[in-house]
Amino acid sequence: MPRARVGSVELYYEDSQPPRGGAAGGAGQGASARPTRPTLLMIMGLGAQLVLWPDALCEGLVMRGFRVIRFDNRDVGKSTRLDHLGKPDVRREMLRWGLGRSLSPPYSLEAMADDAAGLLTALGVARAHVMGASMGGMIAQLLAIRHPRRVASLTSIMSHPGDRRSGVPLPRGLRALLHPAPRTREQAQEAMVGFQRVVGSPGFPVDERSIRDRAGRAFDRGPSPAGLARQMVAVMAAGDRRPALRALSLPALVVHGVDDPLVRVVGGERTAAALRNSRLMRIPGMGHDLPQGMWPRLYAGLADVTGVGG
């Protein structure tokens, strides 16, 4: 089981690149694999495990020339759980956030960005292209801010730069986010299907079979409601990253669905506006997910900013 020790936590990861024969594959090769291709580090969102990145999307990235590393953030999946830090009262913290009061998260998004940098070090990767979705986009932004020499390009998907205007979801998105934790595999699958019906992409076909598969695998790997709560407070406590983003000069791609009710499109617009060398890709019909119909645009955008797979 590939796990890397990063400070006080261990991160579970999967490392995929074509073997020397050229065919796609090679998951879980780890630090012993020779990194002959440009590395793409993929960072998932709030409470989300690495399996929430669609396998076919990752395979497409490998076929386009990337070494793809995806991992479970701290507090989810097979990475270290920090249950000794307690479970925060998310609704109370939301009220404090709404009133402009300070929060005391169990850990910060900065710590999670440092986790990602430590994983690159553990795998012998000096510099990587970095792609993050939702909270993962926030972590990716902070990774570029805190460790600029480690980040060759930044791709921020359905995320925002931490300012208060960008951080307010539509009411239906917030209600979907605060659903009770499922107790069985079947409940987890139904909950994910229901969640996607609310926040997903109205302009693209829904692959319910794939949604159920990923939700079931995530449940089998171990749900972490307390970890999700800790991460949620970390997101709320994070400050406005726009001043620091303006200081970056790396190539950047910002992807956002016009119909995203959870992280509204203004979040992507304000992220792109803060990055001096960015391309904004606004996708009509896309919500807060990664529908297969938008993958060709994502592949093309990545090729533009990374120079890989064009």
Predicted local confidence at residue 90, as pLDDT: 92
- The residues, any chain, with a CB within 8 Å of residue 75's CB and separated by 6 or more, are 81, 82, 224, 226, 227, 228, 230, 231
* pLDDT for residue 176: 82
Contact 17, 37 (CB under 8 A): yes
Low-confidence ranges of the chain (pLDDT < 70): 1, 19-35, 310
Segment 163-218, tens digit of pLDDT? 988 888 888 888 888 788 899 999 999 999 999 999 999 999 999 999 999 999 99
Q: Tokens 């659903």: give the residue.
A: 179
Rounded distance between C-alpha atoms, residue 125 and residue 134, angstroms: 24
Q: Do residues 75 and 103 touch, judged by C-beta distance below 8 A?
A: no
Q: What is the pLDDT of residue 17?
A: 85
Q: What is the pLDDT of residue 30?
A: 45
The burial of 304, by beta-carbon neighbours within 10 Å (0-12 exposed, 13-18 middle, 19 or more buried), is given as middle
pLDDT at residue 20, rounded to an integer: 60
- Give the burial class of 170: count Cβ atoms within 10 A of its Cβ; 0-12 exposed, 13-18 middle, 19 or more buried: middle
Q: Which residues have a Cβ under 8 Å from the Cβ of 56 and sit 6 or more positions away?
A: 292
d(CA 100, CA 95): 9
Model confidence pLDDT, tens digit, residues 2-16: 999 999 999 999 999
Angle of CA points 33, 36, 41, to nearest 5°: 75
Q: Mind listing the domains of the chain with CATH numbers?
A: 3-170+225-306 (3.40.50.1820)
Burial class (CB in 10 A: 0-12, 13-18, 19+), 104: exposed
CB distance 176 to 263 below 8 Å: no
Which secondary structure element, helix H or strand E, spans residue 197, and what is its range? helix 185-199
CA distances from 291 to 12, 57, 286, 288 (A): 25, 10, 7, 9
